Every structure is written in C-alpha cells, then in structure tokens.
C-alpha cells in the first residue's frame, strides 16, 4: 500500500493553510512538513498495523499481518487452521502463557529476516509463530531445557 499520496494530501492541506501567512508562513510550513513526514509515515503504519491486528483477531482461519517493503506497508493474509494445528496454536495467544498478546515492532537485518522466514517455512509455521517459539525457548527457565538449552537431548562421550 503506497501511503505517499496520503502524506502528499497532508502536504497540500498544510500548504493551503500556510497561504494565510504569506511567504514566511509557506517557508515555515515546508520546514514543518520535512520534520513531520517521518512521524506521519510512522503514525500511518501504526494505524495500519492496529487495523491488521483487529482483522486478524476477527478471522479465525487466517493470519493477517502488516509487513514493510522498503518504506511501504503491505498487508499479508495467510490461510491457517489455527485451532487444528499445534504449530500455529502455540503462537503466544494460548498455552502456558495465558497473557494477552502484545504487539512488537522488530527491526532485523534483511539477511536475518530471510533466514528466520526460511526456518519458519521449514517448520510449517508463520514467521510470527516461529519467532514466538524461538523467544519462548530462549526465555524458558534453564530447568526446562537442560544444561545447554536443548530440551530432552544430552551429549555423552569423551572428547580429547
């Protein structure tokens, strides 16, 4: 979704309002918009993310999320049988963590994001579900994972 036209609408509205202040008003308005454009863009993306979360909560058989491609937001809808699949049922909204879901913006290097997406796809999970699993595993108390963080797996033998 290209949000630049929305920012341009704000620019035009501010320019029309600044006409009342003459040349000085126009110059001030232009400087203000240069400072405000990143905040406007972030606010619009936040509003779209909230809308995606509301739509996601209303659709039991699909996951709706908002992703960024460069500076532009993209709605992504993935069909998922949330209730039937244990891999997607454990996405932070159920299970041993009965807390309400919290939204988080995470900025990753593109290469790390691509590796995480590949691992999630290999596990048959959405990226969100896989990240929740990874964070839950990393944040679990040591007694749940054994001495070295690998639940149920031990290494034995001798090393020289």
As given in the structure block, the two tokens for residue 56 are 């996601």
Confidence of residue 80 (pLDDT cuts 50, 70, 90): low
- How large is the average pLDDT for residues 139-160? 58
Is residue 37 included in any domain, yes or no?
Answer: yes
pLDDT at 125 over 60: yes
- Output the pLDDT for position 93: 44
pLDDT at 144 over 60: no
Q: Are residues 50 and 91 in the same domain?
A: no
- How large is the average pLDDT for residues 5-32? 84
17 lies in which domain range?
1-59
- Output the pLDDT for position 10: 85
* Domains: count for the chain: 2
pLDDT at 44 over 80: yes
Strands (DSSP E) found in the chain: 62-69, 72-79
Is residue 158 included in any domain, yes or no?
Answer: no
pLDDT at 157 over 80: no
Q: Are residues 51 and 90 in the same domain?
A: no
Q: What is the mean pLDDT of the chain?
A: 76
Q: Could you give the angle at the alpha carbon of 93 between the alpha carbons of 90 and 108, nearest 5°?
A: 80
The residue among 59, 90, 107 that closes a domain is: 59
As given in the structure block, the two tokens for residue 131 are 């990240």
Is residue 157 included in any domain, yes or no?
Answer: no
**CA atoms of 105 and 27, how far apart (whole Å):** 35
Q: Which residues are bridge partners to 78 per DSSP? A: 63
- Output the pLDDT for position 153: 54
Element (H, E) at 46: helix 22-58
As given in the structure block, the two tokens for residue 93 are 């909204």
- How large is the average pLDDT for residues 18-46? 85
């Amino acid at each position: 979704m290209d949000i630049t036209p929305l920012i341009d609408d704000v620019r035009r509205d501010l320019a029309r309002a600044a006409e009342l202040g003459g040349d000085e008003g126009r110059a001030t308005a232009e400087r203000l918009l240069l400072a405000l454009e990143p905040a406007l863009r972030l606010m619009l993306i936040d509003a779209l993310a909230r809308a995606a979360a509301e739509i996601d909560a209303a659709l039991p058989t699909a996951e709706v999320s908002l992703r960024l491609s460069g500076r532009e937001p993209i709605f992504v809808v993935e069909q998922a049988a949330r209730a039937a699949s244990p891999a997607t049922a454990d996405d932070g909204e159920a299970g041993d963590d009965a807390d309400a879901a919290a939204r988080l913006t995470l900025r990753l290097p593109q290469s790390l994001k691509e590796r995480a997406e590949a691992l999630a796809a290999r596990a048959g999970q959405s990226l969100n579900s896989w990240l929740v699993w990874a964070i839950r595993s990393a944040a679990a108390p040591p007694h749940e994972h054994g001495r070295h963080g690998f639940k149920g797996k031990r290494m034995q033998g001798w090393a020289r």
